[in-house]
Amino acid sequence: MKTILCFGDSNTWGWNPITQQRFPRNIRWTGVLQCHLGNEYHVIEEGLCGRTTLRKDMFERYTSGKEYLIPCLSSHKPIALVIIMLGTNDLKHRFAASALNIAKSAGVLVKIVQRSKTGTHGTAPTVLLIAPPPIKELGDYGRMFRGAETKSKEFGRLYEAVAQSSKCAFLDAAKYITSSNIDGIHFDANEHLKLGEVVTGVVREIFQNEPISS
């Protein structure tokens, strides 16, 4: 059985923009991924609302992805694949971070995984970096994320460059899904379904030449 760790924010946790509660597991993209991959894989959901790549948030403590990544990897090893989808919360106006800086921050997380020994037999896990789709400045999040919509539209190009430099797998979520028209940040149920199906295809491609058992 191969372990897949999905390391992300509220869109990995499964925030429902309508109810502001958590989607059921079978609706969340991680649950869709598990369903499609079957029992030969174990998908671990490590989504935390408010999580950033590496920024410390004085209003939302303990949300720096960098600070928790190594303990997280160590808790779940051996891990075959780590899927990282972070950067949306880094767009908050109070951080004043550019799209390029956020992409490079995601790259720091990729390197942490690649330098770890939390894969099979003490090797490093494979990494899939996902660029989050652009946000929409509307609703209650509009002020918190003011100026972020334009920045977020650069994620696909910049994250791909980071992935190429890091020699890791890459997926631009914007090519397949959009953020909700309700709050502009989170994914509607149908978008979770589509993302889960797309990620399933990428994961199968990553492992197509490798044995299932590990």
Closest by Cα among 115, 83, 59, 69 to 2: 83
CATH number of the domain enclosing 48: 3.40.50.1110
Cα gap 37→83, rounded to integer Å: 15
**Both tokens assigned to 212:** 């299932």
Would residue 66 count as lying in a domain? yes
Are 25 and 16 within 8 A, CB to CB? no
pLDDT above 70 (res 156): yes
- The pLDDT value given to residue 209: 59
How far is the C-alpha of 80 from the C-alpha of 14, rounded, in Å? 23
pLDDT tens by residue, 114-146: 999 999 999 999 999 999 999 999 988 999 999
Closest to 55 measured CA to CA, from 73, 72, 71, 67 = 67
Q: With respect to residue 115, please indicate whether it lies within any of the assigned structural domains.
A: yes
8 Å CB contact between 28 and 186 = no
The number of distinct structural domains making up the chain is 1
Residue 214 lies in a domain: no
Spatial separation of the C-alpha atoms in residues 189 and 16, rounded to whole Å: 8
Asked if residue 137 belongs to a domain, the reply is: yes
Tell me the average pLDDT of the chain.
95
For residues 191 and 40, give the distance between their C-alpha atoms in angstroms, rounded to a whole number. Answer: 25
Give the range of the structural domain holding residue 42, as residue numbers without chain letter. Answer: 2-207
| Residue 211 pLDDT greater than 60, yes or no | no
Q: What percent of the chain has pLDDT over 70?
A: 97
Q: Is residue 212 situated within a structural domain?
A: no
Tell me whether residue 197 is in a domain.
yes
* 167 lies in some domain: yes
* Ramachandran sector of residue 19 (left: φ over 0; alpha: ψ -120 to 50; beta: rest): alpha
CA distance 152 to 99: 7
Residue 196 lies inside a defined structural domain of this protein: yes
> pLDDT-derived band of residue 188, with 50, 70 and 90 as boundaries?
very high
- Whether 148 and 104 have beta carbons less than 8 Å apart is answered as no
Alpha carbons 146 and 13: distance in angstroms, whole number: 24
